[in-house]
Amino acid sequence: MSLYRNSAWFLKGLTEFTKGAYLSESKNFVEKDLETSVAGRSFMITGANSGIGKATAMAIAKKAGTIHMVCRNKDKAEEARAEIVKESGNKEIYVHILDLTETKKVWEFAESFKKKYKTLNVLINNAGCMMTKREENDEGLEKSFASNSLAVYILIKSLIPLLEKSPEPRVITVSSGGMLVQKLRTGNLQSQRGRYDGTMVYAQNKRQQVVMTEQFAKAHPNIHFSVMHPGWVDTPTIANAMPDFHSSMKERLRTPEQGADTVVWLAVSEAAVKNPSGRFFQDRQMVSAHLPLAWTHSSQLEDQKFMSVMEDLAKSFQPH
């Protein structure tokens, strides 16, 4: 990462990604955007037992939505579900146990879900995995890539037929401002070359999510796709993987509810879908997915090559 990108990103973060920035921006929010019931609509949320995912599930449950919580840890998921049911009074909350780093199981889960449920209105790809050292899953894939990129690709790809036959379908992916310092690099998806830096691998995965969103939006105009940055949020992922950053920025970090606000807005509001599909959002606004003069743009050809590589890789793990 260049010194310019690093400095520009951190200065941008201090002015736009903090709790103070959220409180300032929220003064411009239109309250009635979220004054809606989503009874009868179903929402799949990955990583829904903590942090932004849990806050999103809670907010939508309070609006009477049916929630499908996709979580790795059964005990934590059931505990979160009980809390959501108790606070929202909504019993239409379902737990699905899935480790997104296990690629074949992601396919199996999605295919099984399609057979069991008749509708899915909104898919929210929220779960995030930040590794401190390079590890591979049992299928030989680097775990950050498997969870943050390939699992997202497979869930979207597999669930598109179900989404397309459901009213007002949307796909929202929770990215990260870290992707602003990364240009798409298709040649090293498994982080096999060079020194492994878990934070930068995570940021690259998040850039990949932005490109996926743009490309899926072009291919499937009947679904509203969006990708967003929640700001710097006090979540278990940040606390565990970036302890120094977490401790030094603790007072400035957003709450999970503040981080979830734009996710919920994208998932339930009519205002959100008036924006073009495939765009990047921050604090309920469509914003650029690139820093000025940062040279992180990839060509249409590069983006298409990336999607082709993802398609081939995903197919190689698809159950027959």
Q: Which residues make Cβ contacts (< 8 Å) with residue 263, sequence separation at least 6?
A: 52, 56, 124, 126, 172, 174, 228, 230
Do 208 and 161 meet the contact criterion of CB atoms below 8 Å apart? no
Largest CA distance in the chain: 52
State yes or no: is 202 an active-site residue. Answer: yes
User: Structure tokens of 295?
Assistant: 């040279």
Question: Coil, helix or strand for 280?
Answer: strand
Cα 63 from Cα 268, distance rounded (Å): 9
- The active-site residue, picked from 22, 94, 153, 202, is 202
From edge to edge, which strands make up the β-sheet containing 170-174? Answer: 93-97, 66-71, 42-46, 122-125, 170-174, 224-228, 279-282, 285-287
Answer positive or negative: Cα dihedral of 66, 71, 75, 77: negative
Catalytic residues: 202
